[in-house]
Structure 1
């Protein structure tokens, strides 16, 4: 499962166009605040990797929007993620940690997977290697750049809001 460690959420499909971005060398993240991405808040679910992916995001409070994620295959949890989008100085960063189905961490104790902010638009936020887009009030797409065995591909994850 660690081969999909960077995968965050949503039901999968290969993307032909380039949806993710990287910060140019030496460039800092742009100014942004949590209100600009507050549309991410909610309970989201979709199919992925032959199972069910579930993501729950909180409203912005205390300079962060926290989330939890679980991937369920064959009726059992494959892995969890916990993390946040944090207001860091005058910009944003998305950070997460992975856990197996028994809550044993994949990353070292003080290590996180970090996605620096690249760009914010009204219904789209670009972090390095991860893009989130509001399609409607009930749909959100996320594109994640995945590296596996020296090969890089961009994966589309599509989520629907749980009501």
Structure 2
């Protein structure tokens, strides 16, 4: 199962999908602040990959909003992510690292998986291959482009409800 989830870190910039956008090497991220994504703060749960996904996002503080993610399937943790949306100059970048159930990192010590900001539009925030969508104060969607070993990719939707 770990092999499947390792694929989550391979984002395909050439993929055409309905809810995500790609960041070209010549692109420039738009101006944005953490206030543009502060609606993400909270405790969120939803189904994913045959299990339960949980994300907890902090409010903006110190030029970032941190988050943790956990996927539980068949009663066991499959993997974790820790990351943040960071204010960098006049724009945002989403960065994360993956960990297995024993907190052993998947990426090298100094490496992160980075998603530069592509566009802000209405209730959506588009990072490279990763979109956050506010449905209302109690529901959000995340769309992520996931690459496969054969070179193909697909867009996966995560629907979360706020935990009170």
Q: Return the TM-score normalized by structure 1.
A: 0.90
Q: 1:132 & 1:20 partners in 2: Cα distance?
A: 9
Q: 2:99 & 2:142 partners in 1: Cα distance?
A: 21
Q: CA RMSD in A?
A: 1.6
Relative to structure 1, is the Cα distance of residues 6 and 61 closer, same or farther in structure 2, using a 3 angstrom cutoff? farther
- 1:43-73 per-residue CA deviation (whole Å, 9 max, x = no partner) reads 0001111111000000000000000011111
Deviation for aligned residue 1:90: 0.6
Runs of 4+ in 1 over 6 A off after TM superposition: none
Deviation for aligned residue 1:17: 5.6
CA contact (8 A) 1:4 1:146 kept: no
CA contact (8 A) 2:7 2:148 kept: no
Going by fraction, where is strand more abundant, 1 or 2?
Answer: 1
Relative to structure 1, is the Cα distance of residues 120 and 6 closer, same or farther in structure 2, using a 3 angstrom cutoff? farther
Deviation for aligned residue 1:135: 0.4
Superposed, 1:1-163 pairs within 5 Å as 1-5=2-6, 7=8, 18-149=18-149, 150-163=151-164
Deviation for aligned residue 1:6: 6.1
3-state DSSP of counterpart to 2:37:
helix
Relative to structure 1, is the Cα distance of residues 40 and 128 closer, same or farther in structure 2, using a 3 angstrom cutoff? same
Q: Which ranges in structure 1 are unaligned for 5 or more consecutive residues?
A: 9-15
Q: Return the TM-score normalized by structure 2.
A: 0.90
CA contact (8 A) 2:71 2:78 kept: yes
Relative to structure 1, is the Cα distance of residues 41 and 7 closer, same or farther in structure 2, using a 3 angstrom cutoff? farther
Name 2:12's counterpart in structure 1: none
How many residues align? The count is 156
